[in-house]
A and B are shown apart, each in its own frame.
Chain A
Amino acid sequence: MNDWRYVFSQNRATLLAFVFFVVMFAIYSTNHPAGFSANVVQTAANKGVLLALVAMAQTFVVITAGIDLSVGAMFVLTNCLASWIVVGTAWTAALGVAGVLLTGLACGAVNGLIVIVGRLQPIVATIATGAVFFGLALVLRPTPGGDVYSPLADALTGRVFGVLPASLLALAAVVLIVWVPYRRSIIGRAAYAVGSSEQAAFMSGVPVDLAKFCAYVLSGLAASMAGLFLTFVTYSGEASAANGGTYTLYSIAAVVLGGVSLYGGSGSAIGAIFGALMFRTIGDLLFVFNLDPLWQPLFQGLVLLAAICVGAARLFQVRNRLELFE
């Protein structure tokens, strides 16, 4: 009985994100002209899963008190790559998928090496690697184009049992196969320890460098899954700078909305996923209420601003002002 109290308080931020999302989505779908139909949910899911996966990528790194400003670029790069190699027969498409995921891992590894071995600050290092990844994307797709293995694409962007969006099931599968084991692994716990207090982690013999490296590698993996999925949705690859930049910045917003602390050490990818879905739904809410779509970006920005300021309210409890400084 007592245990539940702890589970609840530790996952409070994630639960809040979940609740907010459910409320928003309920408002959205009940007011949608087409009603709460499977179609509506499917379209929303497909868009939402993209940002959710990129947000998950960002979460890995943020937990270690780092930041990855190249997630958007990795997303775009793997999208372009997928539009080339995830084609042909089922066998070649499968190989293509593997290739895309490996590329994501490699990109993440590059980030990790530069930050850890090169000892460069993550902000600047990932800005630079992001430029390189984007350049590679442009090499692959100077103009939008390409194709993708349709049976797989249709399956993952379609519906299961006629009702459930396949994308959500795929997302759930990714969470179950990647996130949950990570969280319970030694390396995952090491990541939380490093983000919470690198000094205490070191003194306790936690593998600090390895934890950070794995975080960046997994970030690359998740970003590549997002890129792959984008290819399934759009049936093409496009090296869009706007897209890359937007997704990077939105991933940070989603992570914060999902209750992950930018200072590291707390939060969950599940929270970030709900943060991403929430963020997506905000824009859609306006459409549903017949508000001028012109006002959508402003509304989105104001909601984000409000959410952040509310989160800062806890500082009024601080009694010793020195705690406000590091």
Chain B
Amino acid sequence: MCGLALVTGMEPRAPLILHMEGVSKRYGGVRALENADLAISTGRIHAILGENGAGKSTLIKILSGVVRPDTGRIVLDGAEVAFDSPAAANRAGIVCIFQELSLVPDLSVADNIAISNPPRRFGLIDRRVQRRIAEDALARAGASDIHPMALVKDLALSRRQMVEIAKALAREPRILILDEATSALTAADVTKVFVVLKRLRDEGLALIYISHRMHEIAELADECTVFRNGSNVASYVAGTKSDDEVVEMMIGRELSHVFPAKPPPPETAATPLIEVKHLNWADRLRDISFHAHAGEVVGLGGLDGQGQRELLLALFGVLRGVTGEIRVSGAPVAPSSPNAAKSAAIGMALIPEDRKTEGLMLPMSLRDNLSFAALERISRRGVIDHARETELVGDMIDLLAIRASGTDIPAGALSGGNQQKVVIAKWLMAEPRIILLNDPTRGIDVATKQEIYQLLRRLADSGAAIIFYTTDYSELIGCCDRALVLYDGAIKRVLVGEDITERALISSALNIADDADDASSRARLQ
């Protein structure tokens, strides 16, 4: 269909239902969106691509009324609009399915689907009609197996995502936005959802689809837009650009990321600093085995949610019921808590996923936050030595070039990049040997990212082993000596040195080796 359009070039332009122009949004020092524009037509599926931090989620939040833009216009049906809440956007016919689900866990599926505008009888909720609405919506979404009376909290994540889709459909949208809405779905679900989405498109709905998954976009999209650094870099008809070209547009060849030089690989005869064998947990980690030497930077790649986070948590002692073997410098260890993982015998550190809720105590001072993981070093028998603390805190601030007006200011007042530096500095004060990082440069400005890359290499050079998970391909390529690509909880591929390329990373992340492999692994997933 699209090829035909390209060839003839005479297919009438589908009517524009929405367009955005000159939209900008800043969060503190970070420019999330910079003069962005977008044109959406009815009866089309429009895919938006871009790496993390490119501005996609901010764009969606603005369109769906969760945040207001600093500048720019949104024009819907020819009239300018401004939404001050999700409800307002819904009323205008824009419905968004977010990645963080908006479902209420303790209510039933039917309650959730009809939560905004439930059917009424004598002033009370008409449960029978509500149930019918829910069943209809679930059927439209291709999820009739979900019982409308089930509680959302009892459903698996993939089922919850289907309920979220049904809920959106029940609102009779004119523009439907799906933000990574298929990330938790099984392959079978994805197929069903695609059938539904295509049918909706044929009925005249405008769909905006955000995803990292190239094969999904190839199958679904009519038009594509690539975002990078907050702006629209290119818009094109789907199928007219190769994967390589798209990746290039996403990452940007004029790389402002400068990566430090990588040293030659260490002698393999030396005992690895950390060795993991046959690690299993629930059904999220399957038979993971790998090792890392002192001085090595090992990256974890793959799509979001394939077990990378769980692996780091398992190493750090947060998960219960982990089986398998972990050895540090040859000696077997079994950390049962972060407190144990931090101990001198193991020497691990974890820079967590969400710095605001897991890495820092925002109301506490910079100084208190910095010394929080190394209280033993600044105290003697439980009593804090303030002089020593000031000294070490000063050292860390200098080392990481943390920009702050004083050590007493609350951590919440720092910029995102500085906050992340504080989290890293906090752990460095504990003098760890194995440093685990969970997506450390997410939402950070470019300059700080560079500083962090330099720091990681310096730390590796001084003898630490670094294991870090990132969703940014360029970081895996630029920083890591080795990259482990995870898929469905297992290590799909190990790439070393020069072999770490975008092509290799993306194809193993998407589980595409070649077509035959692709089909059989998809079948395996069902």
- Enumerate chain A interface residues (CB-CB to B < 8 A): 2-3, 6-7, 9-10, 181, 184-186, 189, 192-193, 195-197, 200-201, 203-206, 265-266, 318-322
Q: With A and B bound together, what is the CA distance between A20 and B98 in angstroms?
A: 43
| Chain B residues with CB below 8 A from A206, complex form | 115-116
Task: Pick the contact of A197: B90, B104, B127 (CB < 8 A).
Answer: B104
B270 interfacial by beta-carbon distance below 8 Å? no
Q: With A and B bound together, what is the CA distance between A266 and B116 in angstroms?
A: 20
B188 interfacial by beta-carbon distance below 8 Å? no
Listed stretches B118-126, B413-421, B457-465; interface member: B118-126
| Chain A residues with CB below 8 A from B103, complex form | 200
- Given A2-B147, A204-B115: A192 and B318 interface contact (C-beta under 8 Å): no
B408–chain A nearest beta-carbon distance, Å: 26
Task: Pick the contact of A3: B116, B149, B310, B313 (CB < 8 A).
Answer: B149
B106 interfacial by beta-carbon distance below 8 Å? yes
Task: Pick the contact of A203: B86, B123, B319, B321 (CB < 8 A).
Answer: B86
Q: Are A320 and B320 in contact (CB under 8 A)?
A: yes
Q: With A and B bound together, what is the CA distance between A292 and B108 in angstroms?
A: 48
B87 interfacial by beta-carbon distance below 8 Å? yes
| Chain B residues with CB below 8 A from A186, complex form | 118, 120, 125
Q: Are A320 and B313 in contact (CB under 8 A)?
A: yes
Interface string of B101-118 (1 = CB under 8 A from A): 111111110011001101
- Given A3-B149, A204-B104: A189 and B320 interface contact (C-beta under 8 Å): no
Task: Pick the contact of B104: A2, A9, A10, A196 (CB < 8 A).
Answer: A196
Q: With A and B bound together, what is the CA distance between A193 and B123 in angstroms?
A: 19
Q: Are A181 and B124 in contact (CB under 8 A)?
A: yes
Q: Are B102 and A203 in contact (CB under 8 A)?
A: yes
- Given A206-B115, A320-B318: A192 and B149 interface contact (C-beta under 8 Å): no
| Chain B residues with CB below 8 A from A185, complex form | 123-125
| Chain B residues with CB below 8 A from A266, complex form | 106
Q: Are A320 and B319 in contact (CB under 8 A)?
A: yes
B282 interfacial by beta-carbon distance below 8 Å? yes
CB-based nearest A residue for B114: A189
Known pairs A196-B105, A319-B319, A320-B320. 10 more at Cβ < 8 A? A6-B151, A10-B149, A184-B127, A185-B125, A189-B125, A196-B106, A200-B105, A201-B104, A203-B98, A321-B337
Q: With A and B bound together, what is the CA distance between A266 and B118 in angstroms?
A: 20
Q: With A and B bound together, what is the CA distance between A284 and B260 in angstroms?
A: 77
B150 interfacial by beta-carbon distance below 8 Å? yes
Q: Are A189 and B147 in contact (CB under 8 A)?
A: no
Q: With A and B bound together, what is the CA distance between A6 and B90 in angstroms?
A: 31
A232–chain B nearest beta-carbon distance, Å: 31
CB-based nearest A residue for B281: A319
Q: With A and B bound together, what is the CA distance between A251 and B206 in angstroms?
A: 53
Q: With A and B bound together, what is the CA distance between A186 and B125 in angstroms?
A: 6
Q: With A and B bound together, what is the CA distance between A204 and B313 in angstroms?
A: 32
Q: Are A184 and B125 in contact (CB under 8 A)?
A: yes
Task: Pick the contact of B106: A9, A192, A320, A321 (CB < 8 A).
Answer: A192
CB-based nearest A residue for B66: A203
Q: With A and B bound together, what is the CA distance between A10 and B112 in angstroms?
A: 15
Interface residues on B, range: 35 or more
Q: With A and B bound together, what is the CA distance between A322 and B105 in angstroms?
A: 18
CB-based nearest B residue for A320: B319
Q: With A and B bound together, what is the CA distance between A7 and B319 in angstroms?
A: 33
B277–chain A nearest beta-carbon distance, Å: 21
CB-based nearest A residue for B282: A319
A205–chain B nearest beta-carbon distance, Å: 4
B85 interfacial by beta-carbon distance below 8 Å? yes
A191–chain B nearest beta-carbon distance, Å: 11
Task: Pick the contact of B102: A184, A192, A204, A265 (CB < 8 A).
Answer: A204
Task: Pick the contact of B107: A192, A318, A322 (CB < 8 A).
Answer: A192
| Chain A residues with CB below 8 A from B120, complex form | 186
| Chain A residues with CB below 8 A from B90, complex form | 205
| Chain B residues with CB below 8 A from A319, complex form | 281-282, 319-321
Q: With A and B bound together, what is the CA distance between A226 and B162 in angstroms?
A: 45
Q: With A and B bound together, what is the CA distance between A63 and B65 in angstroms?
A: 29
CB-based nearest B residue for A267: B106
| Chain B residues with CB below 8 A from A204, complex form | 86, 102, 104, 112, 115-116
Q: With A and B bound together, what is the CA distance between A192 and B151 in angstroms?
A: 13
B35–chain A nearest beta-carbon distance, Å: 28
Q: Are B104 and A205 in contact (CB under 8 A)?
A: no
Q: With A and B bound together, what is the CA distance between A9 and B154 in angstroms?
A: 10
B116–chain A nearest beta-carbon distance, Å: 5
The 6 closest A-B pairs by CB, nearest first: A196-B106, A6-B149, A265-B106, A205-B87, A203-B102, A184-B124
Of the A-B pairs whose beta carbons lie under 8 Å apart in the complex, a sample of 29, sorted by A's number, is A6-B150, A7-B149, A10-B108, A184-B124, A186-B120, A186-B125, A189-B111, A189-B115, A189-B118, A193-B104, A193-B107, A193-B115, A195-B106, A196-B104, A196-B107, A197-B106, A200-B101, A200-B104, A204-B86, A204-B102, A205-B87, A205-B116, A265-B104, A266-B106, A319-B281, A319-B282, A319-B319, A320-B313, A321-B319
* Of B90, B104, B106, B313, most A-chain CB atoms within 10 Å: B104
| Chain A residues with CB below 8 A from B87, complex form | 205
| Chain B residues with CB below 8 A from A203, complex form | 66, 86, 98, 102
B54–chain A nearest beta-carbon distance, Å: 23
Q: Are B320 and A6 in contact (CB under 8 A)?
A: no
A31–chain B nearest beta-carbon distance, Å: 39
CB-based nearest A residue for B358: A322
Q: With A and B bound together, what is the CA distance between A94 and B488 in angstroms?
A: 69
Q: With A and B bound together, what is the CA distance between A186 and B111 in angstroms?
A: 10
Q: Are B313 and A205 in contact (CB under 8 A)?
A: no
- Given A186-B125, A205-B90: A321 and B104 interface contact (C-beta under 8 Å): no
Task: Pick the contact of A322: B66, B127, B281, B318 (CB < 8 A).
Answer: B318
CB-based nearest B residue for A7: B149
| Chain B residues with CB below 8 A from A200, complex form | 101-105
A263–chain B nearest beta-carbon distance, Å: 10
Q: With A and B bound together, what is the CA distance between A318 and B321 in angstroms?
A: 10
Q: Are A205 and B127 in contact (CB under 8 A)?
A: no
Q: With A and B bound together, what is the CA distance between A87 and B150 in angstroms?
A: 50
Q: With A and B bound together, what is the CA distance between A15 and B123 in angstroms?
A: 28
Q: Are A322 and B313 in contact (CB under 8 A)?
A: yes
Q: With A and B bound together, what is the CA distance between A110 and B367 in angstroms?
A: 42
Q: Are A321 and B320 in contact (CB under 8 A)?
A: yes
A280–chain B nearest beta-carbon distance, Å: 28
Q: With A and B bound together, what is the CA distance between A201 and B112 in angstroms?
A: 10
B336–chain A nearest beta-carbon distance, Å: 9
| Chain B residues with CB below 8 A from A322, complex form | 313, 318
A238–chain B nearest beta-carbon distance, Å: 39
A295–chain B nearest beta-carbon distance, Å: 39
| Chain A residues with CB below 8 A from B337, complex form | 321
| Chain B residues with CB below 8 A from A205, complex form | 85-87, 90, 115-116
| Chain A residues with CB below 8 A from B281, complex form | 319
CB-based nearest A residue for B319: A320
A235–chain B nearest beta-carbon distance, Å: 38
Task: Pick the contact of A192: B104, B123, B147, B282 (CB < 8 A).
Answer: B104
Interface string of B339-357 (1 = CB under 8 A from A): 0000000000000000000
B117–chain A nearest beta-carbon distance, Å: 8
CB-based nearest A residue for B98: A203
